[in-house]
Amino acid sequence: MLARNRDTSLLGAIVQALPDPVFVVDEHGRYVDVLGGQGSLEAGGDGYIGKSLHEVLPPDVADELLASIRAALERNAPCTEEYCLNHHGGPHTDGGERWFQARFTPLPELPGQPRRVAWLNMDITHQKQLELQLQEAALTDSLTGTWSERHFLHILGQEIARQERYKEPFCLLLLELDHASAVRTQFGPAAADGCIRDVARLIRLELRHSDVLGRLGPDCFGVILVNTSMSWSLEVGQRITIRASRMPFSAPGRTLYLSVSGGLTDFRTGDNTASMLQRARKALRKSQAAGRDRVSVG
């Protein structure tokens, strides 16, 4: 008997020492008890007991968690759910967006009492922030901050698919910094990278918020000009080439004046990503063969 009491006391001390709370919640979504994690709860554990999930959490989150609780009870097996709260999300939060992982484990039934689960609530905000940072890094080009080639092509595919419903014109513009390889050879990769960043900034100045800019190669950018005619897209491309030819680029010990060549095509019935890219690249090569510093249509 003494050993059992000692084990119970030890278990109680361990639970109270947990950094994250363990809630006991019944099948109706009402808090029955709160154990541990007191330092992470704004109102303290006693402030939850007797309240329902819908009194503590936003309605959509409460509905989601209650469904998971009932699923765990129905299967008589643990169930895990992730949910997000912001600073308006109730007493679980202390400001800003917070992510939590809820693990629901069915508890032994008590005669005449609603079924209950033990809800281990873990703050996974830091983990989620790291995940989001990794996702963003995969979507963007680290040098220029534009979309990566993979994500740009994904957006291009989505825009092509949209044509089946909306029938809005759009164009694909490829832009390449002329003689970038010579800059790398003569002045080093850092100077060439600086020129590429400058070109990305220059292109952005001529685009609308709805347009899409991505880096498709070491010296090449792609632009999706949404809901834009060929004539207007050509004007945008020409403005970019004119600005680039007039802009001084910095290199060790001197100022460079470079140019940009472009290839432009519009969406046509039956197009896919490959066909649009093929026409735009052919138009780009046409500009380069004709002396660079211009935009050709394909």
pLDDT average, residue stretch 227-232: 95
Selected residue with higher pLDDT from 4 and 20? 20
Q: Which helix (H) or strand (E) holds 181?
A: helix 180-187
pLDDT in tens, 62-90: 999 999 999 999 999 999 999 998 754 44
In the chain, the domains with their CATH numbers are 16-132 (3.30.450.20), 140-297 (3.30.70.270)
Indicate the Cα dihedral angle 74, 61, 139, 277, nearest 10°. 80
Q: What is the mean pLDDT of the chain?
A: 87
User: What's the pLDDT band for 91 if we cut at 50, 70, 90?
Assistant: very low
What is the model's pTM? 0.61
Q: Tell me, what's the pLDDT at 130?
A: 81
Tokens of 215: 């880096």
CB-facing half-sphere around the CA of 70: CA atoms within 13 A: 10
State mean pLDDT over 203-212.
95
Give the full edge-to-edge strand order of the sheet including 22-26.
31-35, 22-26, 116-123, 98-106, 79-85
Q: What is the secondary structure of 4-46 as a DSSP string? A: HHHHHHHHHHHHHT-SS-EEEEETTSBEEEEES-GGG-SS-GG
